[in-house]
Amino acid sequence: MPIFADTDEVNTYIGKMFESVVDKPEFVTATEGSGLVVRLNYTDPDTVMLVDFPGQQVSYGEEAASATNATVDLYMKSDDAHSFWLGKLNFPVAMARKKVTMEGSTAKALKLLPLTKPLFAAYEGLLRESGRNDLIEKG
């Protein structure tokens, strides 16, 4: 059984985590000049998010799926994304095991992988603030 009940839960928690940091100065500075626009294609439940670092915005659904400016497309199960954002899924190992696949500027995306560490605390904090300790335990 999937960790998230539906697409709305994935967008509410993972998406809101991105919304809360995409315009923070440390992320703006770290991604400046990178042109990094990441499309996250999650399954079970299915959703698509577009994190536009230069534009400092996050979009969802059809808008994200049809965007033509993505520089990287990531594909994974929503459960694996949840584990990753809790800091419990090693990204390079997940790629080697085909739990995560990537299209586009892989080198650019992997170069910014260290930037994800602060997001782990942001994601867990968002879950705690929302009273969703049950999701943290399922990570």
Asked whether the predicted pLDDT for residue 131 surpasses 90, the reply is yes
User: Which has the closest alpha carbon to 22: 54, 60, 44?
Assistant: 54
Q: Is residue 80 part of a domain?
A: yes
Determine if the peptide bond prior to 25 is cis (ω within 30°). no
CATH number at residue 75: 3.30.1050.10
Q: Is residue 81 part of a domain?
A: yes
CA-CA-CA-CA dihedral for 99, 103, 107, 109, to nearest 10:
-70
The boundaries of the domain holding residue 48 are 7-130
Contact 97, 84 (CB under 8 A): no
Classify 81 as helix, strand or coil.
helix
So what's the pLDDT on residue 48?
98
Average pLDDT in the 115-138 region?
92
Residue-wise pLDDT for 4-39, tens only, equals: 999 999 999 999 999 998 998 888 888 888 888 999
Contact 136, 123 (CB under 8 A): no
Q: Is residue 117 part of a domain?
A: yes
Residue 111 identity (one-letter amino acid): K
Q: Is residue 136 part of a domain?
A: no
Residue-wise pLDDT for 44-83, tens only, equals: 999 999 999 899 999 999 999 999 999 999 999 999 999 9
Q: Is residue 139 part of a domain?
A: no
So what's the pLDDT on residue 34?
81
Q: Is residue 135 part of a domain?
A: no
Distance between CA atoms of 81 and 85, rounded to whole angstroms?
Answer: 6
So what's the pLDDT on residue 79?
97
Number of domains in the chain: 1
